[in-house]
Every structure is written in structure tokens, then in C-alpha cells.
Amino acid sequence: MDTYFHFKPDLQRYKRIFLIAAACLFICLPCFWATILGNDSPIKAMDKNSQPLHKKISLEEALNTAIEKNPQLQSTRDQIDAAIGSLRQSRLYPNPVLELLAEEIPSSELGLNQSQNLVGITQPIITGGKRGLGIKVSEKSKEKNELERDTVLLAVIADTKKAFYKVVADQEAFSIAKETEEIAKGIYESEKRRFDAGEVAVTNVLRAEVELSKARNSLSHAEGDLQNSIKELQTAMGIPEETVDGVIGKLLTKPVELSLPELELKMNNNQPLLKASKKNIEIAETQLTLEKRLSIPDINVSAGYKRLSLENVDTVQMGIEIPAPFFNRNQGNIQKGKALSKKAKSENQSVYNELLFQLKKNFNSYNVERKRVAEFRDKILPRAEESLKLIEKGYKEGEFNYIDLLDAQRTWAETRISYIESLKNLNLLIADIERLAVTKIGRR
């Protein structure tokens, strides 16, 4: 007789057990991976302070990042640390020399019982104020390094601003290229419909297709320029390996009128490169004074105790050593110091002339570009936009033909691109003038 067991499962109960097991597995699996694989775990802990790399940044964020991470600027900070070390070393006084001497030790009896034993100390005495001059040279060298750091800081800020403005301009150019491509696409589709309706010749369609291809090619070129500008900005900021999607900001469109005498005065008073050049003159003159003082010999003062073992007598010894400067009076280094002092003065004049030339050149270019921007902004661009709107309206109503529309569209795009290019040049000049005159140029 066969026996059968009839089993009816409780599906609701097993469903609850399955859900509980799945939840436990979901919670425990990351811990399991982290325990077994350690740093190789595919589950990475999220840093609460971490920020996404893919983002658009402002000018302030770009400048803060550049000041913190630019390697050239960090190098100047390290140079200042080195100068601080040199200054600290120059303030240290020469160490005394300890002397232990045993003389006339008999060969038959090794030891100090039958010898003459000396314990002495010799201290170099620096004369002629040479130590003070050496400290002064180190102090001025440290100050020069700080001014060079400020010069690099200004250059990094200017380079970051210029790279930022290029990205802003290229973003605008990309937007214009994209809008132009959309217009060309609309014209092409319109001409194609009109051709299908028998209203225009096939040449209109072909020409519209060519213009659409040109617009797409320009769009691709604008996108490439934008990516290159972003890479340049990342390099200026010191983060070439990170990813930036773009920037948030606008180009300065209404800058103030500048005064060249005021800019020259600010440059003379505030430019760290010019101050560093003047500091080189001070260093060279101080070093020349030190070289002249080095002809004065230093003195070695010594004192000691000497034990005459055979005579059983204790003696005291004292002495002074003064080198006789008969041959070496530091003549060569003095001549070298004089030449370096003259060289520092010539370099200072050269630095001033170059800075003044750059300032005047950028000032003149600024005025030209400023007028050009105003002309574009107030006259050319509004007229080009108005002309395009009128011709687009007339084209739809049959008043203008395809060639008129094409010319208006091309003129509008070229005008806007030229305006953006002029704005970019103006903002780049502003960044250079701010660097040279160590000032801030604002809006009207």
C-alpha cells in the first residue's frame, strides 16, 4: 500500500522570510566586501566634505583654487622657507674649538703620567661688523623672495583670470554657434518643404544644406575651442587632472575710463617685481660693503690649561691669532661686488622700462578695444539683430528671397562672434593692466 504525504506551503510566510533575508543580505554585503577586500572593495565610503568634480565654477572659486594649488606659486613659498633658513643660519655665531693635546709621551711608557697635557679652547672673534652685514644680506634676500612670491601671485591671478575669461567667451561663442546651427537647420527644412511643394528650385535646398553643414562644422570647432580653454584654465589653477564642465560668470562690458599717470603711479608704488629689482640693488650694495670688510682679518682668541707632568707644574696658556693680510685682501671679490652692484642697477632700470612699456601698450590697446566694444554694443549688434528679424519676417511673407535671409543670418552670427571676441580681448587687457599696476578695474 502506497502512502502519500500532501504538503501545502504557506506562501505568505515564506514571502516574509525571503524579504527579511534579502534585506539582511543588502545591509551586510557592503560590510562583507569591505572586510575581505579592504581598499580594493568596490564599495567606497562617501566623504561628507567631498564635492563633485564635474561642475561649473565661478571666478572666485577659480582664483582660490589657483592660489592654493598652483605649483609655481608653491615653489616661491618653498623658496621663502629656504631664505628663512639662510637667515637663521647667518645669525649663528661660529662655534668654539676645543683642543686636547698630549705631547712628549715616552715610547717606553704609554700614558699621560710622563707627558705634557694641554686642554684649551679657541673662539673666533668676527671683526669689522661682518656678522651684522651677513645678517643684513640674508634679511634683504628673504624680503626679495617675498616680493618675488607676490610677483608670481599676481601673474597666477592674471593668468587664471585670462583663462577664465577665455572660457566665458568660448561658452558664448559655442552658444552662438549652436543657435546658428539651429537657424540653418530651420532654413534647410523650410526650403525643403517649399521645394516639395514646388515653390523653389532644388538649388535653394542644396545651398541650404551646404550652409547647414558649415554651421555644424562651426559648432564642432567652437566646442573644441571651449574644451581647450577649459584645459588651459585647469592648468592655470593647478588641477590639470580634474574635470571642470565650464564656468559661471560674465565678461566685463562697460569698463571705466583709465588714467595712464595714475596707473604709472600705482605701478611705481605697488609693483612687487619693481620692488624686488630695487631690493637686488640693496643686496648688491650690502654685499659689496661686506666684501670690503672681509679684508679685515678675524681674530682667534685661545685659552688653556697645560700640565707639565715631569716637573709637576700646572700652567695656563693664552694666545691671540691675527692673520696678516699681506697678499689676500679680498681684492677679487670686491671687484666682483662692484660689478654686481652696477649690474643690479642696470637690471632695475631695464625692469622699469619693460613694465612701463607693457603698461602703456596695454593701456592704448585697452582704449581701442573699449571703443570697439561700445561701438558693437550700442550700434552694430542691435542693427544686425534688427535686420535679421525684419528679413526673417519678410522671408516668411515672401518679400525677401533665400539669399537675403542667408546674408542676414551670416552677418548676424559674424557680428555676435566679433563682439564676443572684442569683449574677450578687452577683459584680457584688463587682467594684464591689473597685474602691472596692481589695481582693480571695475565697471562704470
Residue-wise pLDDT tens digits, 58-91: 999 999 999 999 999 999 999 999 999 999 999 9
Nearest CA among 143, 129, 128, 126 for reference residue 87: 143
| Same structural domain, 170 and 217 | yes
| Last residue in a domain, options 312, 329, 346 | 329
| Same structural domain, 324 and 224 | no
At residue 53, the pLDDT reads 47
At residue 314, the pLDDT reads 86
Nearest CA among 275, 270, 279 for reference residue 141: 279
| Same structural domain, 262 and 320 | no
CATH of the domain at 68: 1.20.1600.10
C-alpha cell at 27: 545591509
Domain hosting residue 102, numbered range: 95-125+296-329
| Last residue in a domain, options 310, 329, 348 | 329
| Same structural domain, 271 and 341 | yes
194 in any annotated domain: yes
371 in any annotated domain: yes
At residue 19, the pLDDT reads 54
6 in any annotated domain: no
Number of separate domains in the chain: 2
Q: Residue ranges of the chain with pLDDT lower than 50? A: 1-9, 11, 13-15, 17-18, 24-53
Nearest CA among 236, 190, 144 for reference residue 400: 190
25 in any annotated domain: no
| Same structural domain, 291 and 390 | yes
| Same structural domain, 88 and 150 | yes
442 in any annotated domain: no
200 in any annotated domain: yes
Residue-wise pLDDT tens digits, 395-437: 777 788 777 888 888 888 899 999 999 999 999 999 999 999 9
What does pTM read for this prediction? 0.80
| Same structural domain, 315 and 413 | no
What is the chain's length? 444
| Same structural domain, 376 and 336 | yes
| Same structural domain, 120 and 258 | no
| Same structural domain, 198 and 322 | no
C-alpha cell at 275: 620692488
443 in any annotated domain: no
| Same structural domain, 433 and 303 | no
| Last residue in a domain, options 329, 349, 378 | 329
| Same structural domain, 324 and 192 | no
At residue 16, the pLDDT reads 53
18 in any annotated domain: no
CB 285 within 8 A of CB 136: no
At residue 35, the pLDDT reads 41
